[in-house]
């Protein structure tokens, strides 16, 4: 009987220990679950925060460049508006043709004057005698009229040709045997009637000869 009682007690103790172990395991698991959920929520929150931060940075960069582009467009439109405003104000008697080529506006006189007076007329309109910077521009001017003053002179030093903007002549389109070195021929004309080729129709001439002139005003001026 005593043995039976001992065996019963051992079984009860074993059952109790097992129940206690199970209970402890359940309590430990219940204790971990809130902590695990907290860590998961924290990880999700950090991921969302990172994504939002990256999106915000991208939006700021896009906004910056869009703003820059908008400002540039506004400046360009204002510049063009001022430019065309000047052109409208420049449409005074004495000029007959207004043309646009490259990035400049050209006006051709309907009367003839000496080189210095022609330049003064251009400057009075916020422009200057035409400065030819390329063969394309030379061809364009060549086809406008038969004879015209351009903004090239060696008034300051004989044989040293300069444009009215102060730049030296680097490539010219003089006719054969021109400039011929005559002392007082210090201004340059284009003569369409000398050659059908635009690349060789410049002539140095006395500055007091009266000719048609062409004014040029840069769009960026």
Q: What percent of the chain has a predicted confidence (pLDDT) above 90?
A: 25
199 phi-psi bin (left φ>0, alpha ψ -120 to 50, beta other): alpha
**C-alpha dihedral (144, 109, 100, 88), degrees to nearest 10:** -160
Which are the contacts of 175, defined by CB distance < 8 A and separation ≥ 6? 191, 194, 195, 200, 201, 202, 203
- pTM passes above 0.75: no
**Annotation: CATH topology of 91-218:** Mannose-Binding Protein A; Chain A (3.10.100)
Rounded average pLDDT over 153-178: 89
pLDDT digits (tens, 9 = 90+) for 6-63: 555 554 455 566 666 656 555 655 555 556 666 677 777 777 778 788 888 888 777 7
**Residue 63's pLDDT is what?**
74
Supply the DSSP string of 114-170, one letter for each residue: -HHHHHHHHHHTT-EE----SHHHHHHHHTT-SEEEEEEE-SSSTT--EETTSPBP-
Could you give the 3-state DSSP secondary structure of residue 191?
Answer: strand
Q: How far is CA 150 from CA 53, 59, 164, in A?
A: 61, 53, 9
Which are the contacts of 171, defined by CB distance < 8 A and separation ≥ 6? none
Q: Which residue has the higher pLDDT, 41 or 129?
A: 129
Rounded average pLDDT over 101-124: 91
pLDDT at 165 over 70: yes
Rounded average pLDDT over 110-138: 92
Domains of the chain, by residue range, sit at 1-80, 91-218
């Amino acid at each position: 009987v005593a043995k039976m009682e001992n065996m019963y007690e051992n079984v009860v103790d074993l059952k109790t220990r097992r129940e206690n172990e199970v209970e402890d395991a359940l309590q430990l698991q219940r204790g971990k679950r809130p902590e695990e959920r907290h860590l998961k929520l924290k990880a999700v929150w950090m991921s969302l925060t990172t994504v939002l931060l990256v999106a915000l940075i991208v939006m700021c960069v896009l906004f910056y460049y869009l703003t820059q582009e908008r400002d540039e467009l506004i400046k360009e439109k204002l510049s063009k508006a001022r430019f065309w405003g000047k052109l409208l104000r420049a449409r005074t008697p004495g000029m007959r043709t207004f043309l646009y080529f490259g990035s400049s506006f050209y006006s051709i006189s309907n009367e003839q004057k000496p080189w210095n007076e022609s330049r003064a007329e251009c400057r009075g309109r916020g422009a200057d005698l035409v400065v030819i910077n390329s063969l394309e521009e030379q061809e364009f001017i060549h086809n406008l009229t038969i004879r015209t003053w351009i903004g090239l002179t060696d008034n300051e030093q004989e044989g040293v040709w300069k444009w009215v903007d102060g730049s030296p002549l680097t490539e010219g389109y003089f006719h054969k045997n021109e400039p011929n070195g005559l002392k007082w021929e210090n201004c340059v004309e284009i003569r369409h009637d000398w050659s059908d080729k635009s690349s060789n129709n410049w002539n140095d001439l006395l500055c007091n000869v009266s000719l048609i002139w062409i004014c040029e005003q840069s769009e960026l001026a």
